Structure formats: C-alpha cells, structure tokens
Amino acid sequence: MAPRAQTGSGRLSRGLLLLWALLGTGVCHTGTEEEGFGQDARTSPPTAMYNWTAQLMEETYTNITQKCWEFFVELMRNVTASELCEWKVISRPYSFLQACLENWADHLRYGYPNALAEQYIFQSHHRYFHNCTLEHQVYFDPPEDVLLAMIIAPICLIPFLVTLVIWRSKDGKAQP
C-alpha cells in the first residue's frame, strides 16, 4: 500500500472550528431550536456572548420600542378626551402597545417585563390615563369573620329546616 499524503487536515479542523464558532454565536441559526439544551439538562448551549452583542440587542430593542410608542401615540390621537377612560375605546391601542413591547422582547430574547417596557407603560398611564377615576363603586370582600358567618349560617340552618319538615310531615294528616 502506498502511503497517503495528508491533504488539508489542518484546513478541515480550522473549518470545523469556524463552523462551531458560527453556530455557537447564532450567526448560522435560522430560527431553529437547539435540542438537548435547557433547564432539564442543566446546561446551556455553547455561545460566545460579547458585550457588543448585548449592546446591539439593547439598542435594537430601544429603537423598536420607540416605534411601538409612536404607533400607540398615533392610535391615541383618534381618542377624544371624554373617551380616555373607557376601556372599550382604549383597549385596542393599549393592548397593541403591550403586545408590541412583549413580542419584540421575546423575539430578541431580551426578557419581558423589562425596565424599558415598564417605562413606556408608565408613560402611557401618566400621559393619557392619569385623570381616570372610578365612576362606579368598587365592591370589596367583607372581612373574614363576616364572610365566615355568612357561609356557616346557611349551612347550619339546613339541618334545622330538614328536621322541621320531617317533624311536621309525621302528624299523619292528609294535606288537601
């Protein structure tokens, strides 16, 4: 047998190393989930997280949330001052703002709730809903001792009423 010459074994290992580095940083991922990594395995996927990546993600999320806010403000321009406290009117823009902030945070794997999203939610309340007061009386649960009495009284009354019905039906007289 003739000896084989090593052709490109150094290039092969460098290529595999480059592929591993690209897969580890997420450059080659196309939205697929890694299997075998998670809380059950108590391990994490091999990733190379650099500060510039976190800063880029935070900057991207900041820019996107600003667009979410601008669209929310645009939707709120259609709401009159008298309608600002009516949930039927404001639920669509408010829910859109919340969903936009949450979905983009999930998409970027930024984490939700986060300080920036909370800031926009607080800003919306301060700007649009700070004068909303409750027009209807709010009902609260009674104190525990009153609640307990309201529950136990009918339960204790039932055996007494059953005994009374049985006792009254034993007199033997036919009812017309």
Could you state, in order of their start, the residue ranges of all structural domains in the chain? 54-130
- Average pLDDT of the chain to the nearest whole number: 76
Q: pLDDT value at position 12?
A: 44
The token pair that represents 52 in the structure block? 């510039």
6-59 pLDDT per residue, tens: 444 444 445 445 445 545 544 444 444 444 434 444 444 444 445 568 888 889
Q: What number does CATH give the domain 54-130?
A: 1.10.150.510
Which has the closest alpha carbon to 60: 104, 97, 22?
104
Confidence of residue 131 (pLDDT cuts 50, 70, 90): confident
Q: pLDDT value at position 92?
A: 94
Q: pLDDT value at position 158?
A: 93
68-85 pLDDT per residue, tens: 999 999 999 999 988 888
Q: Please provide residue 88's backbone torsions phi and psi, each rounded to the nearest 5 degrees.
A: -60, -30
C-alpha pair distances (Å), 42 with each of 24, 38, 45, 60, 175: 18, 6, 10, 30, 77
Q: Please provide residue 171's backbone torsions phi and psi, each rounded to the nearest 5 degrees.
A: -70, -15
Q: pLDDT value at position 82?
A: 86
Helix (H, G, I), strand (E, B) or coil at 151: helix
C-alpha pair distances (Å), 139 with each of 65, 136, 142, 146: 37, 9, 9, 15
Of 109 and 51, the one with more pLDDT: 109
User: Is it the case that residue 103 has pLDDT exceeding 90?
Assistant: yes
Of 162 and 138, the one with more pLDDT: 162
Q: pLDDT value at position 140?
A: 79
Strands, E assignment, the chain: none
Q: pLDDT value at position 5?
A: 47
User: Do 98 and 136 contact (CB within 8 A), yes or no?
Assistant: no
User: Is it the case that residue 98 has pLDDT exceeding 90?
Assistant: yes
Phi-psi category of 36—alpha, beta or left, where left has phi over 0 and alpha has psi -120 to 50? left
Q: How far is residue 106's CA from residue 59's CA, in Å, rounded to a whole number? A: 15
